[in-house]
Amino acid sequence: MLTVIIPTYNEQRNVAGLAGRIVRALADTDYEILFVDDSTDNTPQVLTRLCRINRRIRFIHRPGRRGLASAVATGFAAAGGDVLAVMDADLQHPPEMLPVLLRRIQEGSDLVIASRFVPGGSNGGLSLLRRLVSNAARLIGQLALKDLRRTSDPMSGFFMFKKEVIAGVALAPLGWKILAEIMVRGHFQHLAEVPYTFRSRREERSKMNLREQVNYLRHILRLVADSPEDLRFWKFCLVGTSGVVVNMVFFFLFTRLLSLGAIPAALGAAVLAMSGNFLFNDHFTWNHRKEGNPWERALKFYLCCGLGVLINVAVLAALHGLLRLPGAAANAAGILAATIWNYYANNRWTWAV
């Protein structure tokens, strides 16, 4: 059975129309509709009436507004289906997509996301400002968390999955983005995306606000803290940044106090910074993987980072020399490429498990 979970907060003018369209769309399916409602308007009364007319419709009313993600998690716990769908109540998510999502599940996907950002999809329903904020949020999320890079629309509020994806998983919903929670903590292999058009809201208003945007950042931080692989990359970046400081301090000391020339000073500072980085990474970033001979790890680390310097210079030369990009921008791109190389190479080789 499919359970369609719909969080509602003051949607009295939307729920009846929505329920009607879901019932029509799922006519040939075994399903239930589960509203999880925190409303202070007449939504509960409308829902009570709907439940009386149609036995497939249920609703849970929670006193006090407790948040979108937590409402959805409440829905997961109460759902009777072995397939769960989540969608909004305001008709911005077209109910006619439900059978399309369900077919992908039946074809073997564990998680199907309705996406605004695959060919055929559109994000027309958001104002320009909201679209900007939404894109920034998506970028931050996908930068911070590897799992969110598996989809084009990790911020989607419209998706379907097999219940086993969250079996035994302790969800810690905070704010709005329950899909991010599922993608980081859940267990799934096959992921599918289906394009859809996010229409603009006709009735009532969006419940998004600044507080939820702050909650989003808190949520991402918490997910990173709970995700060892992502955390390791950020630790590596922190060590790298400290290395830049060490490098600059020694360069200053060597040129000013020891009156060395710029090239020997830079070489000396780089070797010291790299050694500091090695020790830090060995005791902090990859502390749990310190196996075998430390000198061998150090040698591997120098080799990887040495190649990283070459990559940095090659990218700089290509972008600045060939494509005529400003030097600083070209160097920034080079540093980024080298950082990614250094991380993966050291992760796979120097501190391989």
Out of 8, 109, 215, 285, point to the residue binding ligand GDD (CB under 6 A): 8
- Are the C-beta atoms of residues 226 and 185 closer than 8 Å to each other? yes
Out of 2, 57, 68, 223, point to the residue binding ligand GDD (CB under 6 A): 68
Residue number of the CB closest to ligand GDD reads: 157
Out of 8, 10, 74, 92, point to the residue binding Mn ion (CB under 5 A): 92
CB of 236 to ligand GDD, least distance (A): 30
CB of 89 to Mn ion, least distance (A): 8
For residues 206, 211, 214, 215, the Cα torsion angle rounded to the nearest 10 degrees is: -80
Does position 351 interact with ligand GDD (CB under 6 A)? The reply is no
Specify the residue, 101 or 272, whose C-beta has the smaller distance to ligand GDD.
101
Show Cβ contacts of residue 201 under 8 Å, excluding neighbours closer than 6 positions. Answer: 90, 91, 92, 125
**Partners of 4 in beta bridges:** 33, 85
Question: 3-state DSSP helix/strand/coil percent for the chain, to nearest 5?
Answer: 60, 10, 30
Specify the residue, 65 or 235, whose C-beta has the smaller distance to ligand GDD.
65
CB of 91 to Mn ion, least distance (A): 8
Does position 14 interact with Mn ion (CB under 5 A)? The reply is no
DSSP string over 27-63:
TTS-EEEEEEE--SSSHHHHHHHHHHH-TTEEEEE-S
Determine the interface stretch with ligand GDD among 184-192, 201-209, 253-261, 299-307 (rule: CB under 6 A): 201-209
Site for ligand GDD in 23-62 (CB under 6 A): 36-38
Out of 25, 47, 57, 71, point to the residue binding ligand GDD (CB under 6 A): 71
Out of 38, 90, 147, 230, point to the residue binding Mn ion (CB under 5 A): 90
Count of residues engaged in binding ligand GDD, rule: CB under 6 A: 24
Specify the residue, 92 or 281, whose C-beta has the smaller distance to Mn ion.
92
Q: Per-residue x/- mask for ligand GDD, residues 274 to 303, rule CB under 6 A?
A: ------------------------------
Helix residue ranges per DSSP H, 176-293? 178-185, 210-225, 228-252, 262-280
- Are the C-beta atoms of residues 4 and 33 closer than 8 Å to each other? yes
Q: How far apart are CA 276 and CA 281, in angstroms?
A: 9
CB of 331 to Mn ion, least distance (A): 43
Site for ligand GDD in 142-171 (CB under 6 A): 155-158
Tokens, residue 320: 């600045």
Does position 147 interact with Mn ion (CB under 5 A)? The reply is no
**What does 43 interact with, of Mn ion, ligand GDD, none (CB < 5 to 8 A by kind)?**
none
Helix (H, G, I), strand (E, B) or coil at 196: coil
- Are the C-beta atoms of residues 7 and 15 closer than 8 Å to each other? no
Residue 311 Cα distances to 273, 298, 341, 342, 346, angstroms: 18, 20, 8, 10, 15
Specify the residue, 200 or 287, whose C-beta has the smaller distance to ligand GDD.
200
Out of 2, 7, 19, 79, point to the residue binding ligand GDD (CB under 6 A): 7
Q: How far apart are CA 190 and CA 299, in angstroms?
A: 39
Tokens, residue 33: 């509709």
Q: How far apart are CA 171 and CA 191, in angstroms?
A: 19
CB of 207 to Mn ion, least distance (A): 8
Out of 32, 88, 110, 181, point to the residue binding ligand GDD (CB under 6 A): 88
Count of residues engaged in binding Mn ion, rule: CB under 5 A: 3
**Beta pairing, strands 159-162 & 83-86:** antiparallel
Binding site for ligand GDD (CB under 6 A): 7-9, 11, 36-38, 65, 67-68, 71, 88-90, 92, 155-158, 176, 198, 206-208
Q: Which residues bind Mn ion (CB under 5 A)?
A: 88, 90, 92
